[in-house]
A and B are shown apart, each in its own frame.
Chain A
Amino acid sequence: MEPSRDDFVIAIRSAFLKKGTKQRFSLLALLFFSILLIVLSKFNFTAINYLKLGINEVVFRTSFIVSLPEKYISYSFYAIEEHIDLYKDYNLKKEELKKIKSEKYNVNFLEAENKRLKKVLEDISSSSEEIIAKVIIDKQSPFLRSIIINKGSKNEIKKGMAVLSDSYLVGKVIEVNFMTSRVLLLSDLNSKIPVTIEPGGIQSILSGNGVSDGVIQYTKGKMPINGEGVVYTSGTGGLLKSGIPIGKIKHNENKNNVDFFVDFSQLRFVRILSYSEEKN
Chain B
Amino acid sequence: MSEFQKRNIINNLLRLGPLLILFISVLNEIDLNYIKFFSFNFTFILIFYWSVRRTESLGYGYIFLAGLINDVVTGFPIGISSFNYLLICGFAAYLRTITLSPNLVKDWFFFLFTILVVNSASYSILNIFFSVDLNYYNLFVNIFFTFMFYIIFANLFLMYQRKFFKESND
**Minimum CB distance partner of B134 in chain A:** A143
Chain B 56-70 interface mask (CB, 8 Å, partner A; 1/0) = 100111001001110
Interface pair B67/A34, CB less than 8 Å apart: yes
The A/B interface has a contact count, at CB < 8 Å, of 162
**CA of A205 to CA of B132, assembled, Å:** 18
| B135→A210 contact, CB < 8 A | yes
A interface, over-half SS? helix
How many A residues touch the partner, as a band? 35 or more
Q: Is A37 at the interface (CB under 8 A from chain B)? A: yes
Instruction: Tally chain B residues at the interface, Cβ within 8 Å.
Output: 51
B61 touches A30 (CB 8 A): yes
The residue that B29 contacts in the complex, of A3, A36, A71, A146, with Cβ under 8 A, is A71
- The answer to whether residues A14 and B86 also contact, given A38-B80, A38-B129 and a CB cut-off of 8 A, is no
Instruction: Say yes or no: A52 contacts B34, CB within 8 Å.
Output: no
Residue among A14, A21, A27, A70 with the highest chain B CB neighbour number at 10 A: A27
* A66:B24 contact, CB within 8 angstroms: yes
Chain A interface residues toward B at CB < 8 A: 3, 7, 11-12, 14-16, 20-27, 30-31, 33-38, 41-42, 48, 51-52, 55-56, 59-60, 62-64, 66-67, 70-71, 74, 137-144, 146, 175, 182, 189-190, 209-211
Residues of B within 8 A of A (CB): 24, 27-31, 33-34, 36, 39, 55-56, 59-61, 64, 67-69, 72-80, 82-83, 86-87, 89-91, 93-94, 96-98, 125-126, 129-130, 132-135, 138-139, 142
